[in-house]
Amino acid sequence: MNNADMPAMPVVDHKGIFIQKGGLAAIGLTKREHFAARAPLEPQDWFEPSLTERPVLPPEGTYGNKERNEHKAEMCDWLAEADKQHLIQWPAAWADAMLAELERTQQNKGEV
C-alpha cells in the first residue's frame, strides 16, 4: 500500500498493531485526503491548474465588433472557469506534493 492510501491517523490496539476493518487499517481519511483537507487556502506560486486552451483573438483587421464581443464573452467564461479550477485542483496538487516529499524523505532514511 502506498503512502497516499495509508490512513492519516491509524487506530492501533494496546499492542500498537493496526486495527483492521475490511483489510484496511482503521477507518478514516487517507494521507492524501488529509493533506488535501489541510491545504493552504491560497495556492502556492508553483501551482498551475490544468485548463483548456485560452481563447485567442484573431489578428487585428480580421474581425468586427460582433466577433470582438463574442471573444470577450468567451474570455470572461474562460477566466471564470480558470478561477474555479484553480481552487478545485489546488488541494489535490498540495496533497500530491506533500506525499512526494514524504516518500522522498522516507527513501532517504531507508524506510521505504
Residue with grid cell 485542483, as numbered in its chain: 89
**pLDDT tier for residue 17 given thresholds of 50, 70 and 90:** low
Interatomic CA distance for residues 82 and 101, integer angstroms: 27
pTM of the model: 0.63
Phi, psi of 31 (to 5 degrees): -60, -40
Q: For residue range 52-106, what is the model confidence (pLDDT) as tens digits?
A: 999 988 777 777 888 888 888 999 999 999 999 988 999 999 999 999 999 998 8
Within 13 A of 85's CA, how many CA atoms are on the CB side?
12
Residue pLDDT, tens place only, 24-53: 555 667 889 899 999 999 899 999 999 999
Q: Is residue 23 scored above 60 in pLDDT?
A: no
Task: For cell 493496526, name the residue.
Answer: 18
What per-residue confidence (pLDDT) applies to 68?
83
Q: Where do the H-state alpha helices sit in the chain? A: 31-37, 65-109
Give Rg (Cα) of the chain.
22
Question: What are the structural domain ranges in the chain?
Answer: 1-31, 39-109
**Cα–Cα nearest to 37, from 28, 45, 47:** 28
